Structure 1
């Protein structure tokens, strides 16, 4: 999928390049202002946090960068990690390389006075663990508009078969989930270095959308970590139970692994020579093979190159982690979008049997009785005139599209996010959780699509400039999220949007109630005239019965 970038940054050095010295050298950064920022942002870009994972370090755990006295040009982003491009960012060439493990640091100019201890936010990008880059998130804009300054960090981690080549071969060498290992090393880098940028290593929020949120969920569930690397979490359109986490030796992963070996010509070497063969394959061939295998499984949404149970970082199924009550208990802000499934399901689906086949393939564990209940929860629009999935929009989609979009979006995103709120607040002693429902209708076909909220969270100018209502939506959402980053509470920092309604913590005794709904009834971007309600805290019962079904089944997804 290719989407036009939401911003084009302007790079300038108006008052001299900022400098920061850390163990690995003196960083010479740059100043950013896109012409609309209320404050300049000092940025330190493309800083290596690990040695290049090339040659013998391909598929290895990340290795920290050694100390040095060198000067480092930190004025430009580094290349993205190899994988399919997800968002087109900027108008320059699209650079990617295996030498991609870099970090970017942003702060408001003048905010890091001597002895400053600013809150810290670390952004983990999404992309199904196969795509994406730190540049997708307009972190500089998010920092510039914050009423309370903080240090923000974005970074790249290995994705696709280079980051998640999970198999018996890599398990034997203790090399499972190296993409998640990159994330851990980055958080350790933050703990060791962020004070030099004016940040407080003991006040770190981790924030991510989609696969970034899934990643955060795994770090929250990781009870084997010997150090506390974060203190708050923002999980958007994702969480620990949003994807089935299989054992590394599941039949699904075995088949995908052998398909890759065949693609790159390593299928006829001995078991002991497989890793060496893979390390000797040219980068372009590994990347092409990774993308090909992912593509073969994409139509069924049984994606290749995903995190697996490794008996260490992911030591158990996430649902077991929630139910045990043993997880890293930090305040959480989490939410879902109304139409999470639109980009993942077949747009031309027309027959009811295609709907059944889609879920039977995606979830082979579903029994005939389960599938029957599924069709009752999501009535067939071709036989039920009163089905909410009857297509009334004048768009070129199949008769079953609206139905399969709703079912998949609720299975994969809506209900797992609500599950985080429910299970993460099971005890009165659990830290607060704040839940939201994003309902801003962006397009006629896509609705409130997966990932839409990111552009509001960062106060992107292309969103702010649409209308006063869109500007207010962006202002409210950005203010809530940045207040949570700074204080652990979305209400504490008032700023420019102090009139926004109070966002109460989720109350487990209310079932799925207690949700902040953004933009309900707003269809300006989809060509309508409805401005809707910017934000309201409500008892949100939407899709309750459907979530009850998916929660009942969620313990059966793993092999």
Structure 2
């Protein structure tokens, strides 16, 4: 009885508010019958969009989906907008982006240009085919390490390439300390993972309103790359995977970013909280609160925006190389467990997933000065502070290499993935110990999460499937795939490759199956209809770990900074079906190893 009583008291004083499945119920009632294809009445406001006649799209930019998270709403869960019907609002330009907090790098800390940034940044954009009705919907969640980026990605090209067969939506969410501040005090007085809650509210907005933009709320696909892909993963896991298909049926996770995911009041997020408070002028200098003193949280709420912007950007740059200070945490409510564990249990929302990674994900996030095994071990100790010497020895075992120093004259080259040299020791970006470090970071942070997602959806309890691909056009670094599915065909990669990649996405969005025709897979310019692996694209499973490898020939190579880039307009598609488990010298085995270490990483 005492235990039950204490449990109830704890829940009453510390737990976040109950889940609200209809946050727009009080503001969604339309008060006008004057809506047209370009004027949309959302109940709380009326918006006027514009037409892109070349693309045959009606475009709406800067639609508010949440109340301004300022004043007493700072560091709180997002709320539905307040009513503002005094005039029709023009939706012809993007809204301000959220305050930016860049990743850490070698000293000194550099000022961040916050022009065009505002705390009042919870807006979204819609691209709606002019003549469409009841179309599937793509919702894009941007990346940027949960500290950078915005929702200004133009979705015109991918919609056009797929015959204007779906509606596009891009969203913004709070970043840095504004969206991911975490500590016991924030949990009790505000909301941890506020940025994820922003995304969730935007998905609820889509359910409430997308029919007004010719969209079908029962056929929503959410997609993202890097931290956007990580966000997709955490929305897949939201509330323990108990939401089913309430918000979406499909997800696309490109290079899903999985940094260390600590508990909301663990030492790392708490350390970032106190560092941020100190930088903002709210230092925890007293052992306990004196009479008439101001608690840290209330002090932070009282500060002006510029002070907090500077504090967030400064602290975010002061951590270990290639990391961000403010990140998602396990809160026991929205994010209930580590991805390595929950995905292993197959507890996910939605039905199907298309998950992918790039061949060389780690280059941008790893110090490029690792030449000996001793330097590698030192890097591992800094990167994985909870691991013991025995754990680090296991990493070296699973990532074998000679312990000789790197020969600076050794050439770099892209591996084939299934024969010869592997990503363990060789890539377009590095070799030896440096490549060993790059690949360790790549696999634990981006690659293995894409494997775990594919496995979680494989013949899942909701009746869906997982599909797996890899983007391999050299140098295939982190983010290199984005131009493939969002640029116009031929703008960066060849017309043939971009068209095929965008059709893979489009078919998955519209039919839940990423397979494309042989003619498109081989190249729309080739008139080649011979059998191509992308025309079947079987699901991924443990017993048949199918992965579609997306590559091209490289008739023209551009060298920038010593790295070779293949972006020729005359490149020929080279798509192949491979075994993801044995790929790159046993990548599946190494991902199983990282899952076993999940609690200690933690991920």
TM interval, short-chain normalised = 0.7 to 0.9
Equivalent of residue 126 in structure 2, options 99, 105, 115: 105
Kindly indicate whether the alpha-carbon contact (under 8 Å) linking 2:497 and 2:573 is maintained by their aligned counterparts in 1. no
Whether 1:515 aligns to 2:559 is no
Report how far residue 68 of structure 1 moved.
Answer: 4.6
**Structure 1 Cα separation of the partners of residues 445 and 369 of structure 2:** 20
Whether 1:25 aligns to 2:45 is yes
Q: Deviations over 1:188-224 (max 9, x none)?
A: 1111110101111111111111111111111211236
Report what 1:423 is aligned to.
Answer: 456
Q: How does 1:99-138 map to 2 (within 5 A)?
A: 99-111=120-132, 116-135=133-152, 137-138=153-154
Report what 1:8 is aligned to.
Answer: none
Kindly indicate whether the alpha-carbon contact (under 8 Å) linking 1:82 and 1:98 is maintained by their aligned counterparts in 2. yes
Equivalent of residue 217 in structure 1, options 217, 233, 244: 233
Q: Relative to structure 2, which stretch is displaced further, 142-151 or 17-26?
A: 17-26
Q: Deviations over 1:121-180 (max 9, x none)?
A: 111111111111111x22122222222521110011001000011111111125111111
**Structure 2 Cα separation of the partners of residues 218 and 399 of structure 1:** 34
Whether 1:299 aligns to 2:321 is yes
Report what 2:26 is aligned to.
Answer: none
Equivalent of residue 158 in structure 1, options 133, 154, 174: 174
Report what 1:537 is aligned to.
Answer: 577
Q: Deviations over 1:219-248 (max 9, x none)?
A: 211236668111111111016xx3332111
Kindly indicate whether the alpha-carbon contact (under 8 Å) linking 1:479 and 1:493 is maintained by their aligned counterparts in 2. no
**Structure 1 Cα separation of the partners of residues 210 and 593 of structure 2:** 44
Report what 2:16 is aligned to.
Answer: none
Report what 1:439 is aligned to.
Answer: 472
Secondary structure in 1 matching 2:597: helix
Equivalent of residue 276 in structure 1, options 274, 294, 298: 298
**Structure 1 Cα separation of the partners of residues 358 and 193 of structure 2:** 28
Q: 1:311 to 1:48 in 2, by over 3 A?
A: same
Report what 1:207 is aligned to.
Answer: 223
Report how far residue 289 of structure 1 moved.
Answer: 1.0
Whether 1:448 aligns to 2:481 is no
**Structure 2 Cα separation of the partners of residues 300 and 200 of structure 1:** 39
Kindly indicate whether the alpha-carbon contact (under 8 Å) linking 1:29 and 1:75 is maintained by their aligned counterparts in 2. yes
Q: How does 1:175-254 map to 2 (within 5 A)?
A: 175-223=191-239, 228-238=246-256, 242-254=258-270
Q: How does 1:14-413 map to 2 (within 5 A)?
A: 18-32=38-52, 39-69=55-85, 70-84=87-101, 94-111=115-132, 116-135=133-152, 137-223=153-239, 228-238=246-256, 242-267=258-283, 268=285, 270=289, 273-299=295-321, 301=323, 303-376=324-397, 377-380=399-402, 382-383=404-405, 400-413=433-446
**Structure 1 Cα separation of the partners of residues 65 and 243 of structure 2:** 20
Kindly indicate whether the alpha-carbon contact (under 8 Å) linking 1:122 and 1:206 is maintained by their aligned counterparts in 2. yes
Secondary structure in 2 matching 1:556: coil
RMSD: 3.1
Q: 1:26 to 1:254 in 2, by over 3 A?
A: closer
Report how far residue 307 of structure 1 moved.
Answer: 1.0
**Structure 1 Cα separation of the partners of residues 94 and 297 of structure 2:** 31
**Structure 2 Cα separation of the partners of residues 547 and 502 of structure 1:** 28
Q: Deviations over 1:330-370 (max 9, x none)?
A: 11011000000111111233333221111111112333233
Report how far residue 430 of structure 1 moved.
Answer: 4.4
Q: Deviations over 1:431-454 (max 9, x none)?
A: 11110011011xxxxx20111111
| TM-score normalised by L of structure 1 | 0.84
Q: Deviations over 1:467-487 (max 9, x none)?
A: 6xx221111110010111111
- Higher radius of gyration, 1 or 2: 2
Kindly indicate whether the alpha-carbon contact (under 8 Å) linking 2:401 and 2:433 is maintained by their aligned counterparts in 1. no
Secondary structure in 2 matching 1:464: coil
Report how far residue 492 of structure 1 moved.
Answer: 6.6
Aligned length: 515
**Structure 2 Cα separation of the partners of residues 515 and 238 of structure 1:** 16
Secondary structure in 1 matching 2:330: coil
| TM-score normalised by L of structure 2 | 0.78
Report how far residue 426 of structure 1 moved.
Answer: 6.3
**Structure 2 Cα separation of the partners of residues 411 and 27 of structure 1:** 44
**Structure 2 Cα separation of the partners of residues 353 and 361 of structure 1:** 13
Q: Deviations over 1:81-121 (max 9, x none)?
A: 001479xxxxx99511111111100022322xxxx211011
Q: Deviations over 1:252-276 (max 9, x none)?
A: 1111111111111101474862222
**Structure 1 Cα separation of the partners of residues 52 and 432 of structure 2:** 47
Report what 1:89 is aligned to.
Answer: none
**Structure 2 Cα separation of the partners of residues 466 and 509 of structure 1:** 35
Q: Deviations over 1:55-97 (max 9, x none)?
A: 22111221211345430110000010001479xxxxx995111
